[in-house]
Chains A and B, each alone.
Chain A
Amino acid sequence: MMLLDFTVMEGVQVAWLAPAACILAFVLIVSLRMFDSKIGSVISIVAIASGFAIFLYVFGQFNESGPAEFAREWFTIGSTKITLGMAIDQLSVVMLGVITFVALLVQIYSVSYMEEESRFGWYFGVHSLFAASMLILVLANNLLLLYVAWELVGLCSYLLIGFWYEKRSASEAAKKAFITTRIGDVGLLIGIILLYRTAGTFDTSTIIHIAQEGGFADSTLMAAVLLIFLGAMGKSAQFPLHVWLPDAMEGPTPVSALIHAATMVVAGIYLVARIFPLFEVADPSLTVVAVVGLSTAVIAASIALVMTDLKKILAYSTVSHLGFMMLALGSGAYVVAMFHLFTHAFAKALLFLSAGSVDHGTGGKRDIRQLGGLRKKMPITFVTFSIGALALAGVPPLGGFFSKDEIMMAVMDGRHPVFFLIAIIAAFMSSVYMIRALILVFFGDLKPENQEAHESPALITAPLLILAGISLVAGLVLSGWQDFFNAKHHDINFLVLALSLLASLGGLFLGWAIYSKEWISSRDVAAKFGDLEKYASNGYYLDVGYQWCIDRIVLVVARIVSLFDRIVVNDVAVNGTGYSVFLSGFKLRYVETGKVYNYALAMVVGILVVGLTIYWGLI
């Protein structure tokens, strides 16, 4: 193969260079031990920037010549050839773009954000490795390679969450993320092996082809698809495997932005989209996806309402939006899910990076009760955060509005109206918590201890502004998006449109009413926002009513849910599993007494048990 033939190459033949560049960066940083120097960051940024350039080239080629695939043989299992290869199609091109672009911005941002850290170079090294594995994950043309990358991505996430390992909570969180996602990964690998058993290949397109021809037994396909979905649930933090994601906020904020908001956590969404035809063939499986997505969206949103840590609010919001994406997938509209993935990636990365900027500017404060009134001190961050928040809340004409609206229409089309109603409630809640965060952080009185707050340097604000710009205009690519995926345009359903708009704006208004009333006196409100004063005073009853509702219903429910989340899911299911594994390990070791005759007894009993079992045909 002529790798360096500078005549026009197919995109797919160049695509692999993007992850290769990042791996090279990682190897360079680690092997030259540039853990403390700034050169590490330069290498890493150059690598990811060239990745982005490759994306542009690949994208251009793709527009000309369409999907392509290439593979080389790795080894054979029996008569099956295991190949490694890359595939370029709509899905992977989109992901390639999102990953390289967001990663590039986040890394630039990190240069300033992380500059005080020791292990600065290590941070960038792992970032490069992460980028490489994420790129391999989306480019892989077969499930095996995908799985390989999937594991590597998880490893990088582990390393980055635990970056401040000196902090106990950080290493605990890293461990929890590791164990929780692993539960899903077991399912994923078994699912893949199940598919391989029948198909005799790991090649994604071949497997899909076989499935569509009816080559799989129904039960096998169903089991495989659900097991793979379990993997997606772990990675994409779907209820009840979502518990690791809020804790993952112990990592550095840029990491949260890149990995735990924009890229890695959407791997599950990507995976389901990638093998979407399998879900279609294994019919009821999409219902499972929809139900899981919907419950995730609602539950996480209600928890986000009562969180006080800014990053946790964003984290639960991420979980909730991942739920929306799953819901869209479950409603049969993977193009829409990908679109929401796209708008959400920019908006949420923007929010996280803005939160990081707040953090940076105020000397590490993340509790929204201690913040407030920062809009004067940090104007750029204020603007960018607002854009992100409004985009997520679904305010037209920002990106989030279009994608959320598309999801609502897809749900209305593909699922029972009840799904739609619940989804509207979740959307409503997401407006409320976004505006809550916005108000509590940037409006109101500046706390005396925050007088020193300052705007962040240009290396931090520049990525914010770029992302904000994209979030502003992201919605406009919608029609191009659907053409790109050859998807049908949804007929605009005005009822749906109106309801979803109502949910967004209503949520904003409600949040505004509650949170500005609670923190600022009404006179201040009257003085500063004359227009709103009437609403606020007129809405007093509403205010009390909603407050009551929130106190008595939403809060109670949310507390119960979050209690459930803490105790049942977190402590019992996740930590409990972990602890019982450890406990049994620690107990079992005492079997090993060190005494020869005990060992001999175990052997003899073993022999007798085995012999008699066989004799009596017990098993």
Chain B
Amino acid sequence: MGSTQESGTEGGVLTESLVVFLIISVVCVAGGLGVVFSRNVIHATFLLLVSLMGVAGIFLLLLAEFLALVQVLIYGGAITIVVLFVIMLTKSDEFESLVDNSQKPLAFLISIGLFVVMTVAAIAADNGNTVRASLKFSDLGHSLFTDWAIPFEVASLVLLVALIGAIVISKQGEEE
């Protein structure tokens, strides 16, 4: 099932790939933090794009080229654009006053708590495996269309329903 590739070394030495990982991680996290702390919704959207492109980089590090491609195409090419459209359609100046709600401190605590729990879980379960495996496009495609044919078909219906729904709902306000 594809080639395997040695990476990293023993003893926590900073390898090239680790450095790359750290840089991309910082981009991801910084972008994410920007999304949730930014006071400007347009900035937030662009920072989301930055963060998601970082995620695409992570996918590359994980040897999932196809996913990285999809990530860039869908998030960069579609989702962000749609969000920007919507922001333009709605009154963006409202966002200046629309910052955070009253439960912000609690939200902060809970998020930190969840992060701690998840990190502890990850560290506890770590099996120290440093070998990454990559997957051929054709294998992915084959598996998607044979083993996972049912979810695939259902996913197409999900998209269809979302499409119809979006049209129906946004047409509602017209002609009234």
Contacts and interface: CB of A to CB of B under 8 A. Distances in A.
Asked if A and B form a direct contact in the complex, defined as CB atoms under 8 angstroms apart, the reply is: yes
Interface of A: 595, 597-598, 601, 604-605, 608, 611-612
B117 A611 contact: yes
Interface string B92-123: 00000000010100110010011001000000
Nearest to B111: A604
B103 A598 contact: yes
B117 A601 contact: no
Nearest to A598: B103
Contact of B107 (A595, A601, A611, A612): A601
B101 A605 contact: no
A182 to B, nearest CB: 39
Contact of B117 (A595, A598, A605, A612): A612
A597 B101 contact: yes
A608 B110 contact: yes
B9 to A, nearest CB: 34
Contacts of B101: 595, 597
The contact size tier of chain B is under 10
Contacts of B110: 601, 604-605, 608
A605 B110 CA distance: 7
Interface string B40-77: 00000000000000000000000000000000000000
Interface of B: 101, 103, 106-107, 110, 113-114, 117
A611 B114 CA distance: 11
Contacts of A605: 110
Contacts of B107: 597, 601
A611 B118 CA distance: 11
B113 to A, nearest CB: 6
A386 B142 CA distance: 98
13 contacts: A595-B101, A597-B101, A597-B103, A598-B103, A601-B106, A601-B110, A604-B110, A604-B114, A605-B110, A608-B113, A608-B114, A608-B117, A612-B117
A291 B113 CA distance: 57
A416 B94 CA distance: 84
A29 to B, nearest CB: 49
Contacts of B103: 597-598, 601
A611 B113 CA distance: 12
A617 to B, nearest CB: 16
Given A604-B114, A605-B110, 16 more contacts: A595-B101, A597-B101, A597-B103, A597-B107, A598-B103, A601-B103, A601-B106, A601-B107, A601-B110, A604-B110, A608-B110, A608-B113, A608-B114, A608-B117, A611-B117, A612-B117
B132 to A, nearest CB: 29
Contacts of A598: 103
Contacts of A611: 117
Nearest to A601: B103
A612 to B, nearest CB: 7
A31 to B, nearest CB: 44
A234 to B, nearest CB: 45
A604 B110 CA distance: 8
Contacts of A601: 103, 106-107, 110
A612 B103 CA distance: 22
A611 B101 CA distance: 27
A612 B114 CA distance: 11
A608 B101 CA distance: 21
B100 to A, nearest CB: 9
Nearest to A611: B117
Nearest to B101: A597
A598 B106 CA distance: 10
Contacts of A597: 101, 103, 107
Nearest to B107: A601
A71 B114 CA distance: 60
